[in-house]
Amino acid sequence: MNQGELIPHLFRTEYRKIVSVLCKRFGFDQIETAEDIASDTFLTAAQTWGLEGVPQNPPAWLYNVAKNKAKNYLQRDAVFESKIVPEIRNTSSEIDEREIDLSPQNINDSQLQMMFAICHPSISAEAQIGLSLRILCGFGIEEIADAFLTSKETINKRLFRAKEKLREGKISIELPDLSETDDRLATVLTTIYLLFNEGYYSVSQNSTLRKDLCLEAMRLCYMLVENKSTNMPQVNALLSLMCFHASRFEARLNKKGELILYEEQDVNLWNTDLISKGGYFLNCAACGDKISKYHLEAGIAYWHTQKDSTREKWENILQLYNRLLQIEYSPIAALNRTFALSKANGKEEAIVEAEKLNLTDNHFYFTLLGELYIDLNPGKAISCFEKALALARSETDKMALFRKIETCRQNKE
């Protein structure tokens, strides 16, 4: 990997670690300082490595530079002089590794603690995802704006407001007490879940970014699994769900970047290693006496990785959807259930159930109805696809619907 590729790669993997450690050290009051020091570290790397070459251990070099920059900041900054010096007056000459601890253990702990701080319920879900992408995933403002289909100015304002709320609320960067872990963990898992979904289906044209979002969500969830206090059944269930979904990622898009319907996917492109990992984490999730929505969604995703399209498969999926909708109703889950219903009980019954949903502002609703009507009423199918086309936001979705309409018209003739 040459320098032009190495520094962006290291920014994605190491920026978050440096920011998390420094922010834990400084507190949310100085989060911009932590980000500035981390960014300046990479600027120094780009300048120095261009002249002297890449060091033997680039991450260690970055940590050392970041540590020195942080020490310099602490020694000269007015905030340090007015707020911290009185407390450490007798040890001011010992600002060392214990003060700026970039050891592997502290890096891991700091990222976990930062995850819980960022996912505090005082800020919106969008802000939680945005901060997670920026601080914990090393995404640039432009990348985040692309993911949310908005401007850099909007993202900057959103992140600024979120940081202000965390500062005003004096949110500490630490893992919650055991008594609070379940409630706070639920918020963290929701953020990771939304982050994965943003990547799994996004109207952004940047397919690489979509994969990155999914992989970052999986990485954050894996950190929770590795930590003893957060290695809960629902965490394993969410990681299992994401593994199963990610296993079919390469089969979901054609060469033009258009979505491929489940039944048309090339099963040879499914990632068997990720399917196996999904099964492992689903087994790990089986302990305990609570079933979360992630357990049920992971079960549904598991059956979707089974290649044979049998009635038993779709009946199992249908029953899991029934339980999921009882635990947490979602119009999209109800819509997906109707597809399983069509496979288990036939299209006529599925159409009746789908039309009851009346999701007339959702292009997936009309797309599914179109698919259900294709063999039964081609004219009705065309009408549904045309309504879906009017609501579709991405060009790839629109092109796929155009082809559906043309195929229906040819078959009708």
**Beta strands per DSSP E along 78-228:** none
The pLDDT of residue 31 is above 80: yes
Find how far residue 181's CA is from the centre of its chain.
21
Q: Looking at residues 127-136, what average pLDDT do you find?
A: 90
d(CA 124, CA 134): 15
Residue 88 has pLDDT above 90, yes or no: no
Q: For residue 335, give both structure tokens.
A: 């819509």
Q: Minimum mean pLDDT among 71-75, 276-280, 281-285, 347-351: which range?
A: 71-75
* Polymer length of the chain: 413
* Rounded-to-integer distance, Cα 331 and Cα 310, Å: 26
**Which tokens hold the place of 387?**
């309504």
Residue 203 reports pLDDT greater than 70:
no
Q: How confident is the model at residue 226 (pLDDT cuts 50, 70, 90)?
A: very high
| CA atoms of 374 and 403, how far apart (whole Å) | 13
Please state which of the ranges 137-146, 213-222, 400-409 shows the lowest mean pLDDT.
137-146
Domain ranges of the chain: 1-102, 105-231, 359-413
pLDDT for 202: 64
Q: Measure the N-to-C terminal CA separation of the chain; round to a whole number of Å.
A: 56
Q: 259 has which bridge partners? A: 253
Q: Are 205 and 399 in contact (CB under 8 A)?
A: no
- Tell whether the model's pLDDT for residue 137 goes beyond 50: yes
Q: What is the DSSP letter of 377?
A: -
Per-residue pLDDT, averaged over 21-45, amounts to 92
Q: What is the pLDDT confidence band of residue 96, given thresholds at 50, 70 and 90?
A: very low
Asked whether the beta carbons of 245 and 305 are under 8 A apart, the reply is no
- Give me the mean pLDDT over the 207-226 stretch: 84
Q: Which of 93-107, 349-363, 373-387 has the lowest mean pLDDT?
A: 93-107
> Which of 167-171, 233-237, 266-270 is predicted with the least confidence, judged by mean pLDDT?
167-171
Q: Is 259 helix (H, G, I), strand (E, B) or coil?
A: strand
Question: What is the structure's pLDDT at 76?
Answer: 74
Does the pLDDT at position 198 exceed 50? yes
42-73 pLDDT per residue, tens: 999 999 999 999 999 999 999 999 999 998 88
Helices within 53-151 (DSSP H only): 58-76, 78-79, 85-88, 104-118, 125-131, 141-148
Q: What DSSP state is assigned to residue 231?
A: -
pLDDT of residue 84: 55
pLDDT computed for residue 176 by the predictor: 84
Q: Which of 317, 316, 333 is nearest to 325 (CA)?
A: 333
DSSP characters over 277-302: HHHHHHHHTT-SS---HHHHHHHHHH
pLDDT of residue 285: 97
pLDDT digits (tens, 9 = 90+) for 325-340: 999 999 999 999 999 9
Q: Is the pLDDT of residue 160 over 60?
A: yes
Q: What is the mean pLDDT of the chain?
A: 88
pLDDT above 90 as % of the chain: 58
- State the Cα–Cα distance between residues 273 and 308, nearest whole angstrom: 18
Read off the tokens for 163.
């940081």
Return the sign of the alpha-carbon dihedral for residues 251, 253, 256, 261: positive
Of residues 66 and 87, which shows the higher confidence score? 66
The tally of CA atoms less than 13 A away on the side-chain side of residue 351 is 15
The model's pTM is 0.85
